[in-house]
Amino acid sequence: MMELIKEKDLYIIDELCSREINIDEFRIQSSFQANFEQIRYLLYRSKDEIEDHCNKYTEAIFWRLPKDITKQEEVILFREFILVNWHCEHEEMATAFQIDFHDDIVNIDVLIKAFKNPPSYLLEDDFRHSYLRKLIYAIGAQPSPQNIQALESLLELEDDYVKGLVKHQIEKRNKYGRWEAGEKK
């Protein structure tokens, strides 16, 4: 079987992830750009090697490591990894679904699953509410009318704070369409 990532590239990736070098130094020392399989490998490798949920490895792999992937491959990664409970990039990923990955109704089911199963490190109300708010915005940014239907399904929840956020998002989406500055539906 062919080597997925060369040992010298793994070494410099580890240096980037542990902040021993910054991205400029990384680019001077290596031309490595991770493809889809390499990113998945590195993310799962970080899970196996790092015990801390909020490790700097996953942050670096998601946001700083140079990549050579399509937008479709990137959204597939985000769909997979927003649903796992062993890293702490969930809030940033939810924001990415609002800003970058907002044009596919497949995202709605993933976001609803993420909403119903927040990671354990976000279970304290203040943290959980921040994350759920971002997921509500991300759901609202998805294609209509499925975004509104998904938001309406969340009104059955017992959490009054979350219900208020959902109602507000539904009102905004009904008034403005998917975008504040965009066309009305």
- Which tens digit of pLDDT belongs to each residue from 21-73? 999 999 999 999 999 999 999 999 888 665 554 667 888 999 999 999 999 99
Instruction: Verify that 42 and 53 share a domain, yes or no.
Output: yes
- pTM of full prediction above 0.85: yes
pLDDT tens-digit readout, 62-101: 999 999 999 999 999 999 999 998 888 999 999 999 999 9
- Is 21 in the same domain as 62? yes
Q: Is 185 a member of any domain? A: no
The SS3 call for residue 3 is coil
DSSP for 84-148, please give it. Answer: -SS-S-HHHHHHHHHHTS-S-THHHHHHHHHHHS--GGG-SHHHHHHHHHHHHHHHHHSPTTHHH
Domain shared by 23 and 112, yes or no: no
Residue 184 within a domain: no
Q: Which domain holds residue 5?
A: 1-69
Tokens representing residue 6 in the block: 């060369």
Integer Cα distance of 112 and 39 in angstroms? 25
Tell me how many domains the chain contains: 2
Q: What is the CA radius of gyration of the chain?
A: 18
